[in-house]
Amino acid sequence: MVLEKYNSPLRLREVEIGSVSPGETLVSMLASGICGSDVHIWRGKDPRTPLPLIPGHEGVGIIRNTGGKAYDVLGESLSPGDLILWDRGIVCGKCYYCCVMKTPFLCPDRKTYGIMRNGCYAQDLILVKETRILKVNKDVDPALLASASCSGATAAHAVELSEISPGDTAVIQGPGPLGIFVLAFCLQKGAECIGVTGRIGDEARLRFCREMGADFTVNIDEIPLMERIDLVKNQSAGRGANVVIECTGSPDALEDGLKMVAPGGTYCTPGIAVPHESIPIDWYQDIVKKNLNLKGVWVSDTSHLYQAAKLVEKGHFPLKGFVTHRLSLEKANEALRLAETLEMIKGVLEFSHSQ
Ligand SMILES: [Zn+2]
Ligand SMILES: [Zn+2]
């Protein structure tokens, strides 16, 4: 399914992908996640995308063929029939950010499948030799696993930077796929009290968060700003949350979020993925006087993908109802519309292949 023009329906096309060169891997897709970023791409809001483009950066598939001997990041040999997922970002592996800072997500040459080059809204995809691949257990639902490669990995990165500790109070702004994965990682890290905030229309997502283990949820359209800040403080002996993680994609979240953080706490923002207007901040009250840690979170690296894949593979969290919509490739336009109206928690394109 090809995006040829922003805001227009994707078109079903035959696209020649060529043959498999040494080091490359030909994969047949099993599941391709519909991400909120795909809606931004479709709407022309992501400045990184060239056209025409096959979108889709969350992929799980089976190997058809490899160009010579191939191994995953754990050193496991890869063969036809193996179930894999991969780091959606391809990095150079030899620049200052890759090697010295050990922050490959900041690599200036990072290229993302489905954003800067063709991706997973397709029957088959050739993974270039720099792609970092992870072989996974064949018993895992590919649709659930697909989310691990974007929302899951970015959530792992955010929770890592937030330095959440056992006993902490955490607030997650936004109950979408990113927020749900952040919730799972906060539970895994031993946060004692976790709240999730959402808006009108998010009721099903907030309910899902409570079922997963969130201690409380807040609908910000129903409770005024100062009341919802007090509500968070009341959950933490008047202090506020040790960590607040923004997963809304909306800059408006910052006003609430910074005020909900306790002195000495962290505000972490993985949700904003496309350019937005600037917003005012009370620098003295909300940042300096609180000794607040403010953490931007840009995408993720292979270590985060690994953490997210393990989280799904181990099945410790009741993520079963997470994928609410399963559609065929031809229904990609419908899937994007559903994602835009937030009618689903998570939508995934599923594929069938003749063996
Ligand atoms: Zn994504
Ligand atoms: Zn690099």
Residue 98: nearest ligand to its CA?
Answer: 2
**pLDDT recorded at residue 218:** 96
In whole angstroms, how large is the CA radius of gyration of the chain? 20
**pLDDT recorded at residue 299:** 97
Q: Is the pTM of this model over 0.75?
A: yes
**How far is ligand 2, taken at its centre, from the CA of residue 109, in Å?**
6
**How far is ligand 1, taken at its centre, from the CA of residue 178, in Å?**
9
Sign of the CA dihedral with 94 first, then 154, 272, and 158 last = negative
**How far is ligand 1, taken at its centre, from the CA of residue 151, in Å?**
6
**How far is ligand 1, taken at its centre, from the CA of residue 114, in Å?**
9
**pLDDT recorded at residue 210:** 97
Which residues touch 147 (CB under 8 Å, ≥6 apart)? Answer: 33, 58, 177, 181, 308, 312, 322, 323, 346, 348
Q: In one letter, which amino acid is 271?
A: G
Residue 155: nearest ligand to its CA?
Answer: 1
Residue 35: nearest ligand to its CA?
Answer: 1
**How far is ligand 1, taken at its centre, from the CA of residue 220, in Å?**
25
**pLDDT recorded at residue 342:** 76
Residue 57: nearest ligand to its CA?
Answer: 1
Residue 83, SS3?
Answer: strand
**How far is ligand 2, taken at its centre, from the CA of residue 303, in Å?**
15
Query: What gap in Å lies between CA 91 and CA 233, rounded to an integer?
Result: 42
Angle at 346 between CA 343 and CA 348, to 5 degrees: 115
User: CA torsion angle for 228, 231, 237, 243 (degrees, to 10)?
Assistant: -50
**How far is ligand 2, taken at its centre, from the CA of residue 23, in Å?**
19
**pLDDT recorded at residue 354:** 60
Residue 91: nearest ligand to its CA?
Answer: 2
Residue 103: nearest ligand to its CA?
Answer: 2
User: Does residue 157 contact residue 304 with C-beta atoms inside 8 Å?
Assistant: yes
Query: What gap in Å lies between CA 214 and CA 313, rounded to an integer?
Result: 21
**How far is ligand 2, taken at its centre, from the CA of residue 129, in Å?**
15
Residue 147: nearest ligand to its CA?
Answer: 1
**pLDDT recorded at residue 68:** 96
**pLDDT recorded at residue 49:** 93
**pLDDT recorded at residue 148:** 92
**How far is ligand 1, taken at its centre, from the CA of residue 234, in Å?**
34
**How far is ligand 2, taken at its centre, from the CA of residue 267, in Å?**
27
Query: What gap in Å lies between CA 31 and CA 327, rounded to an integer?
Result: 10
Residue 130: nearest ligand to its CA?
Answer: 2
**pLDDT recorded at residue 264:** 97
**pLDDT recorded at residue 343:** 78
In this prediction, the residues of the chain whose per-residue pLDDT falls under 70 are 354-355
**pLDDT recorded at residue 141:** 94
Residue 181: nearest ligand to its CA?
Answer: 1
**How far is ligand 1, taken at its centre, from the CA of residue 36, in Å?**
6
How would DSSP label each residue in 136-178? --TTS-HHHHHGGGTHHHHHHHHHHHHT--TT-EEEEE--SHH
**How far is ligand 1, taken at its centre, from the CA of residue 58, in Å?**
7
- Locate all alpha helices (DSSP H) within the chain, ordered by sequence: 36-42, 142-146, 151-162, 177-189, 203-212, 225-234, 253-260, 302-314, 332-340
- Kindly state the tokens that stand for 339: 């994602």
Residue 99: nearest ligand to its CA?
Answer: 2
User: Does residue 170 contact residue 247 with C-beta atoms inside 8 Å?
Assistant: no
* Tens digits of residue pLDDT in 290-318: 999 999 999 999 999 999 999 999 988 88
**How far is ligand 2, taken at its centre, from the CA of residue 137, in Å?**
30
**How far is ligand 2, taken at its centre, from the CA of residue 96, in Å?**
7
Residue 58: nearest ligand to its CA?
Answer: 1
- Kindly state the tokens that stand for 241: 């949350």
**pLDDT recorded at residue 316:** 84
In Å, how far from its chain's centre is CA 248? 12
